[in-house]
Amino acid sequence: MGGICRAEHRLEQDQHPRHRRERNIFLQWSDYCVNLFFMKILRFSLFLFLTILFLSACGKEPAVGKNPLSDNKPAYGDILVRGDIGDASNLIPLLASDTASHNICGMIYNGLVKYDKNMNIVGDLAESWDVSPNGLIITFHLRKGVKWHDGHPFTSADVLYTYQVTVDPKTPTAYAGDFLKVQKAEAPDDFTFRVTYGRPFAPALISWGAAVLPRHLLAGKDITQSPLSRHPVGTGPYKFKEWAAGQKIVLISNPDYFEGQPYIDGRITRIIPDTATMFLELRAQNIGMMGLTPLQYTRQTENNLFKNNFNKYRYLSFAYTYLGYNLKNPLFADKKVRQAISYAINKDEIITGVLLNLGKPANGPYKPGTWAYNDHVKKYNYNPQKARELLREAGWTKTNNEGVLEKNGKPFVFEIVVNQGNETRQKCAEIIQRQLKEIGITVKIRVLEWSAFVTDFINKRHFDAVILGWTIPLDPDAYDVWHSSKTKPEELNFISYKNPEVDEMLEKGRSTFDQKQRKKYYDRFQEIIAEDQPYTFLYVPDSLVIIDKRFRGIEPAPIGLEHNFIKWYVPKDEQKYIMTR
């Protein structure tokens, strides 16, 4: 399957079935009866909306139920309609840092390498590669006969261009760091690409899983003004067809894909910002795949309608959710204040009350159970008394008439921003608001539409604190998120964290191939982060995915569900929609 195959850090907005995207889970607080009530109210309007929407892409009426006599043989056809709370921002993956964009781009583009289902590095646009004995030179041997979606042949010139535009200082990308390690890049012939590093770089090979861009459409032009941001052209298993902003993104299968034409003819991502409405669409079988909230997973999908028509999947995400502090705000300059807030937050209450125990506490930036994870870092178990002591040590010694702490005559008041549609994060913010009030801190909550949240607040650093999530890379290199050089606009260290020893550990961790030595560097990195608390790490959620039963060929694996999406299929007599081309 094509895609942006390096597990890069990306802003997560909700849980979704790609083995990570949010992998953050939304909590639907309305109960089943309320959903039925809303169904009655919305039935007519939803009917009109869906009729208009699907007639534009589908040529026959939905089938009713499942055919018990289906022969279950793989067949070409049908459409997967997925629900998503956030629209994409940019379909040139080099310029996008959000998962909504990367989830679409992952079907359109390929890298030179990718992860297989067991998280081993395998070839993608590269058939094979050679690594020099000292690890400093990688020579990629590219596939022949691959074509871009517009019919232009793919060659090593595309890979060289992608490297050059990535490291160009004028390109506003968060992903240049890995490629700046390259000392020389060359394309000696059409199907050979060679890179030379000045010193060992542990993530070197998987860094070339980043999407390769079409040179013939971009070279010599301002990439930020390219029409490809809205009409992408790749080499992947799906071609771009349509993007109705805020409504849907439509992809159609690529019959010339080098790994074989996907069985599923089309993928429609419907943007439905409200999870309650999305669940109603699922219940009406107008969408075939979505990420569930804990309440939906545990209670609202346990009736016969869902059991007969859908399959559910659950696995621990490669993601974590956190409360991050804008360290340019004087309120958060003292680490004792950040530590105090962490002690004042009861993670167990969040996991029990919001996630319904479908997740684990997070204590750092790696997934529990992976080789880089350090379980011996400083923990911040719920301790409001300790929180009060630390605040007093930080100078917050007075309380005003409203019970709010004051320092130099100013009350301790700050705002948490969260993205619209993610009710889990909103409920987390409300719990944190209540818990911090108990120690004399006033919290305000602002809910923002996703694109404005990223563009106007996160990228411009216009926030006090934020509840967000990161995907967790399979390689533990966390340079792009935590290094002090990555604080510029559009880059990922948007909390402006700076610690010289962290910089040193990250640099050393990516400069050795010895896993035991890397483990020492990343263990120390986690210890420093735990002490500094630039984030209050909240939880690692379970991914809760539901998929229409008519889709076959799904193979759950350590990396997730969609690693083999081109092999998913619907038996001919169970197919529901026809994709018009």
φ, ψ for residue 293, nearest 5 deg: -80, 160
Contact indicator for 24, 428 with CB cutoff of 8 Å: no
CA–CA separation, 19 vs 15, rounded Å?
9
Query: For residues 92 and 490, which has the higher predicted lDDT (pLDDT)?
Result: 92
Query: What is the reported pTM?
Result: 0.80
Could you confirm whether domain 110-225 is CATH 3.90.76.10?
yes
Fold that domain 11-64+73-96+227-316+545-574 belongs to in CATH: D-Maltodextrin-Binding Protein; domain 2 (3.40.190)
Q: Residue 143 corresponds to which tokens in the numbers above?
A: 């596939």
Which pLDDT score, from 0 to 100, does residue 22 have?
A: 31
For helices 275-283 and 32-55, what crossing angle results, to 10°?
80
DSSP state letters, 267-288 = EEEEE-S-HHHHHHHHHTTS-S
Question: Can you count the helices (H) and strands (E) in the chain?
Answer: 16, 22
* pLDDT per position as a tens digit, 96-150: 988 899 999 999 999 999 999 988 999 999 999 999 999 999 999 999 999 999 9
Residue 94 CB neighbour total at 10 angstroms: 22
Show the CA angle centred on residue 288, arms to residues 282 and 293, nearest 5°: 50
Confidence of residue 466 (pLDDT cuts 50, 70, 90): very high
Confidence of residue 580 (pLDDT cuts 50, 70, 90): confident
Which pLDDT score, from 0 to 100, does residue 36 have?
A: 35
Query: For residues 145 and 275, which has the higher predicted lDDT (pLDDT)?
Result: 145
Largest interatomic CA distance in the chain: 76
Beta bridge partners of residue 141, listed in sequence order: 128, 192
Q: Could you state, in order of their start, the residue ranges of all structural domains in the chain?
A: 11-64+73-96+227-316+545-574, 110-225, 319-541
* pLDDT per position as a tens digit, 164-223: 999 999 999 989 989 999 999 999 999 999 999 999 999 999 999 999 999 999 999 999
Q: Which CATH class is domain 319-541?
A: alpha beta
CA–CA separation, 224 vs 164, rounded Å?
15
Contact indicator for 292, 104 with CB cutoff of 8 Å: no
How far from the centroid of its chain's Cα atoms is residue 497's Cα?
21
Contact indicator for 281, 83 with CB cutoff of 8 Å: yes
Surface-to-core class of residue 72, CB atoms within 10 Å of its CB (0-12 exposed, 13-18 middle, 19+ buried): middle
The share of the chain scoring above pLDDT 70, in percent, equals 88
Order of strands across the sheet with 126-131? Answer: 126-131, 137-142, 192-197, 182-189
